[in-house]
Amino acid sequence: MLRLVVVLPLLPLRHGDAFTLATWTLHLTLVPTFVVDLDLDAVVAVIQPALARQSALLVTVGGDEGFGRAQRIPVSLIEDSSELIPLHHVLLDGLTAAGAAFDDPDFTGGGYRPHITMTRTARAHPGELLRLGQATVVDMEPIGPTRLRRVAWAAPLAVAGS
């Protein structure tokens, strides 16, 4: 079983890049963490068609809020986007049909709230306009004693199929 998440990084990432949760660069979570009994190629085949049709997204950073069940994770919300929510739903539907089980299903579909998690050293600022031009799949299974996460797949939007 794979444990994955689909994100839109603010700065490009490469296949094989690895980081801890604390050092992960800023990103917008497009599809929250899930487990699936497929190989990576099969997962990419599910999400690739929608991503290959999607041009870079322009989103505006909204206000700050606490996130998660305990609302203790500091995030910057993303204002309503005519493309982002439908893209989330298309990927969610495809992954669900492929057997994905989401860690926090309450935060998918109608409960999805696009956000960028703040780090100790970086954050998105309210009113900031962001261009998100890459999609990545990150393997969330911790690697080694430092518990690294690894970029399993990355592609620019609108050419994710090439």
| Class for the domain spanning 2-156 | alpha beta
Three-class SS of residue 87?
Answer: helix
Both tokens assigned to 93: 């539907």
Residue 53: phi, psi to the nearest 5?
Answer: -90, -15
Element (H, E) at 154: strand 148-156
State the pLDDT at residue 162: 44
Tokens in use for 39? 């190989």
- How far, CA to CA in Å, does 33 sit from each of 21, 27, 30, 125? 13, 14, 10, 25
pLDDT tens track, the chain, 162 positions: 999 999 999 999 999 999 988 888 999 999 999 999 999 999 999 999 999 999 999 999 999 998 877 888 899 999 999 999 999 999 999 999 999 999 999 999 999 999 999 988 899 999 999 999 999 999 998 787 878 999 999 999 985 544
Query: DSSP string of 26-54?
Result: PEEEEEEEEEESS-HHHHHHHHHHHHHHP
What pLDDT was estimated at residue 161?
47
Q: Is the pTM of this model over 0.85?
A: yes
Using DSSP, how many helices (H) and how many strands (E) does the chain show?
A: 2, 10
Residue 6, pLDDT score: 98
Q: Are 86 and 57 in contact (CB under 8 A)?
A: no
- Residue 95 CA: distances (Å) to CA of 52, 78, 101, 148, 162: 16, 23, 9, 24, 21
| pLDDT in the model for residue 159 | 59
Q: How far apart are CA 33 and CA 147, in angstroms?
A: 16
